[in-house]
Amino acid sequence: MTHGFDRRSMLTGSLALSAASLALPRMAFARGPGSRNLLFVLLRGAADGLAMLAPVGDPGFAALRERALPDYAAARRANGFFAIHPALDAVGAAYERGEALFVHATATAYRDRSHFDGQNLIETGGTRPYGLKDGWLNRLVALTGEAAGAPPRALAIAPTMPLALRGPAPASSYAPSALPQASGDFMDRVAQLYAADEQLAGLWAQAMETRAMAGASEVKNLRDATAAGELAASLMREEDGARIAMIELGGWDSHANQPGQFTRAARQLDALLGAYAAAMGSAWGQTLVLVATEFGRTARFNGTNGTDHGTAGAAIALGGAVAGRRVVADWPGLGEAALYEGRDLAPTIALESVLAGAVAEHFGLDPKAALARLFPGRTAQPLGGIVHG
């Protein structure tokens, strides 16, 4: 509230949209996934939302991070008040095309500062770390499956199954392996050996299908972000591809020399999302990408030009299905008194409401039922209006 900045005006202006004003009428019945795609991108290590989408219109930002201001001098603006980090070029372009929106000052129910616990919570969807043993995306697979009569194909683009996709609903994982590819002849013989074994023959057939979908990809590992994005698209864009997928991106834990580290990580994310969008082709129109992280970072830089573990951060919704070119925020401000525990951006929108609201709209599920199933024990309402109806 310093320097004449008025939080209420943010709420009533076109810039910020509260959960209530975005809510859509409840859908009469679930329609199932159809040809809709969801890619969940988890940024591991707590990405700094204030760097991703800098609130340059808040005088508090300059007071806290004067050194960072020049980075945003020529950056794309979002609703005048925010600036999109210049490394997020493809995301910024999608924003201007109306295919991306940001949610700011958002956080899960987690209020402590351990990556370990925070990631457990954003993946399980629980209200306390280790309270749930399965993941919210796995429960989403089950939920959309109930609506459609059969679970949609779900895939983790990762070497092992991330917690978010673990659970009783079927989900597969695929990642370029560091192991040398087995020879074609050996693979053929394994297929013959398994032909008489129902379980192994089924797994083998599925694996070969996934590999075929991945194409003759020369991707050696997922560290090449452009290749990872193309790989994700190749596994999702076809009719029989995965409908629900997850990919992880590390490198966000910027305790020191943040500007350089954040720029590197953001370029990776941007390359991944840009390559994914381009490679999805016509399926992009039916696609929702949700980008989230376990928590935000401290509002001030620390003594080593970095940031420590904070609370609220930013999330991105991207895709042809997104009603974009907006920032959704109930902006808490960056004045001393407004900071959470005097150090972090304060959370004003529950990330669970964003995730549940967006996927419910996208897959035609009842939003309240989706929130209760995916993120049990919440009181906040699911956020509506993220995805085109």
Partner 1 sequence: MRKRSIALNRFGYGLRWRDGARGATDPEAALLAQIDRFDPAPPGLAGRADTSGKAGEILELLRRNRMMRERAPAGAQTGAMMAGERMADTARGPLADLPPDIRRSYMDAGRVLRRDIALKVNTAVVSDTPFIERLVHFWSNHFSVSAAKPGTQHQVGNHEFAAIRPRVLGRFSDLLKAAVLHPAMLLYLDQFQSVGPHSRFQQRARRGAGRERGLNENLAREILELHTLGVEGGYTQGDVTEFARALTGWTIAGIRRIERFADPQPGGAAFVAFAHEPGTRRIMGRSYPQTGPEQALAVLDDLAAHPATARHVATKLARHFAGDAPPTSLVARLEADFLATGGDLASLTRTLVASPEAWTESPAKYRAPFEWLVAVLRLTGVENLDDKRIAGALRELGQVPWRAPSPAGYDDLAASWAGPDALVRRVELAERVARNVPAGDVMARAEAAFPGALSDNTRSWLARAESGTQALGLLLVAPEMMRR
Contacts with partner 1, residue ranges (CB under 8 A): 44-45, 112-116, 120, 129-130, 133, 159-161, 163, 166, 168, 172-175, 177-183, 185-187, 189-190, 192-194, 196-197, 199-200, 203-204, 206-207, 210-211, 250-251, 253, 255-257, 261, 298, 302-304, 306, 308-310, 343
For the bound state, the minimum distance from the C-beta of residue 342 to partner 1, rounded and expressed in Å, comes to 11
Of residues 76 and 267, the one with the C-beta less far from partner 1: 267
- Type of residue found at 170: P
Of residues 84 and 163, the one with the C-beta less far from partner 1: 163
For the bound state, the minimum distance from the C-beta of residue 251 to partner 1, rounded and expressed in Å, comes to 7
For the bound state, the minimum distance from the C-beta of residue 382 to partner 1, rounded and expressed in Å, comes to 26
CA distances, 222 to each of 55, 137, 201 (Å): 32, 21, 28
Phi-psi bin for 91: left (phi > 0), alpha (psi -120 to 50), beta? alpha
Of residues 12 and 206, the one with the C-beta less far from partner 1: 206
Quote the CA–CA distance of 268 and 282 in Å, as a whole number.
Answer: 24
In what side-by-side order are the strands of the sheet with 82-84? 53-54, 82-84, 77-78
Of residues 69 and 193, the one with the C-beta less far from partner 1: 193
Of residues 97 and 189, the one with the C-beta less far from partner 1: 189
Quote the CA–CA distance of 43 and 295 in Å, as a whole number.
Answer: 10
For the bound state, the minimum distance from the C-beta of residue 279 to partner 1, rounded and expressed in Å, comes to 20
Quote the CA–CA distance of 350 and 366 in Å, as a whole number.
Answer: 18
Tokens of 351: 């990330």
Of residues 44 and 104, the one with the C-beta less far from partner 1: 44
Phi, psi of 25 (to 5 degrees): -60, 145
Quote the CA–CA distance of 328 and 319 in Å, as a whole number.
Answer: 16
Helices (H) and strands (E) in the chain, counts: 13, 12
For the bound state, the minimum distance from the C-beta of residue 223 to partner 1, rounded and expressed in Å, comes to 9
Quote the CA–CA distance of 23 and 43 in Å, as a whole number.
Answer: 27
Q: Do the beta carbons of residue 213 and residue 235 sit within 8 Å?
A: yes
